[in-house]
Amino acid sequence: GEDVEQSLFLSVREGDSSVINCTYTDSSSTYLYWYKQEPGAGLQLLTYIFSNMDMKQDQRLTVLLNKKDKHLSLRIADTQTGDSAIYFCAESRTPGRALTFGSGTRLQVQP
């Protein structure tokens, strides 16, 4: 079955760049997502990428996809204290299917 893995914790200083990594096992994964969850809140879609793309940039967020290694990363430039949250990587084969989530990476931004 599908499996998605992430490191559990990342700490950075305000203003630095953050890089959150994710690996997945399903070679049929076509849609890869990054969601942000703040304490007690739901999931906020940050960005997503299709498997035929290598990179996608949206303001401070850059997603890199290495399909050969099944590795996905999210880079947050100029990280702010408001970026402190849990970031989930998720994948699905089609948009209409449920997502398989990683365990989430807790990002802590220190002033």
Q: Which residues bind another protein (CB under 8 A)?
A: 31, 33, 35, 40-45, 48, 50, 88, 92, 95-96, 98-104
15 or 95: whose CB is closer to another protein? 95
Provide, rounded to whole angstroms, the least separation between the CB of residue 44 and another protein. Answer: 8
Q: How far is the CB of 86 from another protein (least distance, A)?
A: 9
- Give the angle subtended at the CA of 75 by the CAs of 87 and 109, to the nearest 5°: 60
How far is residue 93's CA from residue 106's CA, in Å, rounded to a whole number? 26
Residue 29 beta carbon to another protein: minimum distance, rounded to whole angstroms: 14
Residue with tokens 């849990």, as numbered in its chain? 86
Question: For another protein, which is the closer residue by CB, 14 or 37?
Answer: 37
Q: Are 17 and 84 in contact (CB under 8 A)?
A: no
